Amino acid sequence: MEKFPLDLLRYGTRSHSIILVDRDDHVTFYEKRMAQAPQIGRSTVWADKKVTFKLDPPSRNV
């Protein structure tokens, strides 16, 4: 069994993601994640990402 690393200051959620789809099929994906593991005596560095795109209509050849 591996022991928990004691040099980590905090333990918990490392990322948050949200996917939004509007009535016009526009999608927005947001993500906030830790850019690096938190260390004792240092502030946590977070990275943000946003991706947008439009969904294609369903194919009628199914």
> Is there a domain that residue 38 lies in?
yes
> Virtual CA dihedral for 19, 21, 25, 30, nearest 10 degrees?
-40
pLDDT tens figures, 21-58: 999 999 999 999 998 877 777 788 899 999 999 999 88
Over residues 9-31, mean pLDDT? 89
Asked if residue 46 is part of any domain, the answer here is yes
Examine residue 10 and state whether it is found in any structural domain, yes or no: no
Does any domain span residue 2? no
- 39 is in which domain, residue-wise? 15-54
In the prediction, which pLDDT does 8 show? Answer: 57
Domain count, the chain: 1
- 45 inside domain: yes
Domain-located, residue 23: yes
Q: Choose among 28, 15, 26: nearest CA to 54.
A: 26
Judge whether 60 lies within some domain. Answer: no
Q: Are 13 and 29 in contact (CB under 8 A)?
A: no
